[in-house]
Amino acid sequence: MRLFNQSNANQSTAWQSALPLQTRAINVLNIFRFILSLTLIGLYFFFSKESLSGIDTNSLFLNLAIAYFVFSFSALLISPLKSISHRYVLPLQVVFDIIFITLLMYAAGGIQSGLGLLLIIIIVTASLISNGRLALFYAAVASICLLLEQSYQNMIGNLSATTYTQPVMLSLSCFATALLAYSLAERMQHSESLASSRGIDIENLSQINALIAQEMQDGVIVVDEQLNIRHHNLQAESLLSFNKNSTAENIALNSNAPEISAKFNAWVKDENVSDDSIVNIGNRDLKLRFMAINHLRKMGAVIFIQDLSQLQSKAQQAKLAALGRLTANIAHEIRNPLSAISHANQLLQEEENIPAPTARILQIIEDNIGRIDQIIKDVLELNRRDRTHQEKIELTPFLADFYTQFCAVEKVPSSHFQLLPCSTKHVITFDQRHLMQILWNLCKNGWEHSQKQVGSLTLNCVDVGKIALNIQITDDGGGVAETDRARLFEPFFTTKTTGNGLGLYISRELAEANNASLQYQALAHGSTFVISLKKVS
């Protein structure tokens, strides 16, 4: 029962989707019926009454023509009421058409009048409108009406049985026409269905292509023969920074990207020019690749744009990842002999009556063993950035606890290191161990470069918006030279004689692993490192 209801619902939906086309076809049939009724009335007054059979039939023909006119006019009036009721009104109207034409044929003198041919036109038109579903039904109704009309003519005129020849032939013609209309309607319906499905496939394919183009990492622009950009994706708009005054349909390549326009013109004019070239736009190196449309360069091209800085950044990240794994393995191998050296050095330091030069050498060995061990710890930390255990942290008590530990371990006077707590309660999502290490590295770095006076180091929390806040570590040191700022977060880069250059690099990596960021800001006197976080509440 459920399947039957579902089938009916699907048929009803299909009919409703085809209703506008069905309604227009019914309107055409209504107009044809109206014109036909007016023509029949005009024929009555145009031809002499003697050309028709008796006076009674003349009056009957005129009355029937007027009645048919009233019927066709009524059909025109109700045709604007577009609804699913047309599905049931159409067969009823066609049956009335067949009856009226048969009666008019009788009033005009029978089948010899030639009006029976109008039945074929009505059957063909109605069958095509109904997609051939009722074609044989209309032919059967027309055949019955023709045979009844001829039988009545034979009964009142005592005609012979041979007079049935023409009605029978016309009936067979109606059936043949109905079958032909049914076949034609099926083909039309199949063609419409195929065209509709192909249209849907083309639209889906177009949407997929547009989605792929928009989500591509490379910029894509389509240029015509007049050097107008006909299409571009979001990445191309980001890389080229199109003029906002240009409309989407008329973006000139010359005014928006003259560098690309020059390369494109050179590529079009010289067949020997390579399809690849590099331009610099907005301090970024962009690699261009041209692909001709229709194998003719002058007809336009598709230009693919790659940001070489992103490619180089990805390559550097891959190299650093490989370097991290390699150095981690090396660090594990170094730790064993380093432990043996450290143990042997401790044994030597425990001997009595060690000369001062020897004691100095042993102390140097111990200091460098500690330095190597710290480097190993930092290197091992490089491989732990992705293993985060994020949890909700209430920032104010966490910073207070960190402040207490840092001052105690690093022996920093509380007057020299100021903590400015958050003005309101904030909760963040972060790996607690990673946040502690980031703050420790930054504060230790700031304290080492500060003037070590009252208020030389400051840790404060600043609200940026509803969902973001910054943790700032500020020192009053000499700052970072402008030539060194670009390499500040590179691994193994340091300006200290005793540093290993991994502290800031590890801090930034751990921040990014927790969906945060770390930036450096130069001050007139000193430096500020800013950790940008997202608030949970």
User: What is this structure's pTM?
Assistant: 0.41
Separation CA 224–CA 300 (nearest Å): 4
Specify the pLDDT at position 369: 83
Domain ranges in the chain are 2-198, 218-308, 311-382, 390-534
Spell out the per-residue pLDDT of the chain, length 537, in tens.
433 344 444 444 444 444 455 666 677 788 888 888 888 888 887 764 444 444 345 688 888 888 888 988 888 887 766 555 556 677 888 888 889 888 888 888 888 888 888 888 888 888 777 777 788 888 888 889 888 888 888 888 777 777 888 888 888 888 888 888 888 878 877 887 888 888 888 888 878 777 777 777 788 888 888 888 887 888 887 777 766 555 555 678 877 788 888 888 888 887 666 667 788 776 677 888 888 887 778 788 888 888 876 676 677 667 666 766 776 777 777 877 888 888 888 888 888 788 888 888 888 888 788 777 777 776 666 665 556 678 888 888 899 988 988 888 888 898 889 888 787 788 888 888 888 888 988 898 888 888 888 888 999 988 877 778 889 999 988 888 777 777 777 776 676 666 666 778 888 888 888 888 888 888 878 889 999 888 776
Q: Which letter does DSSP use for residue 452 in this model?
A: -
Specify the pLDDT at position 497: 60
The three-state secondary structure class of 484 is helix
Q: Please provide residue 267's backbone torsions phi and psi, each rounded to the nearest 5 degrees.
A: -70, -35
Q: How far is CA 15 from CA 10, 11, 129, 132, 461, in A?
A: 9, 6, 12, 14, 66
Specify the pLDDT at position 194: 85
For 390-534, which CATH superfamily applies?
Answer: Histidine kinase-like ATPase, C-terminal domain (3.30.565.10)
Separation CA 94–CA 71 (nearest Å): 11
Q: Which helix (H) or strand (E) holds 509?
A: helix 503-513
Closest CA relative to residue 349, chosen from 341, 257, 193: 341
Give the contacts of 375 (CB within 8 A, at least 6 positions apart): 331, 500, 502
Specify the pLDDT at position 52: 47
Alpha helices in 80-164 (DSSP H): 86-107, 117-129, 135-157
Specify the pLDDT at position 9: 42
Separation CA 525–CA 475 (nearest Å): 8
For the chain, helix (H) and strand (E) counts, in that order, are 15, 13
So what CATH class is 311-382?
mainly alpha
Please tell us whether the domain made up of 218-308 is placed in CATH 3.30.450.20.
yes
Specify the pLDDT at position 512: 82
Closest CA relative to residue 147, chosen from 169, 172, 164, 123: 164
Fold agreement (218-308, 390-534)? no
Residues β-bridged to residue 472: 460, 530
Specify the pLDDT at position 22: 61
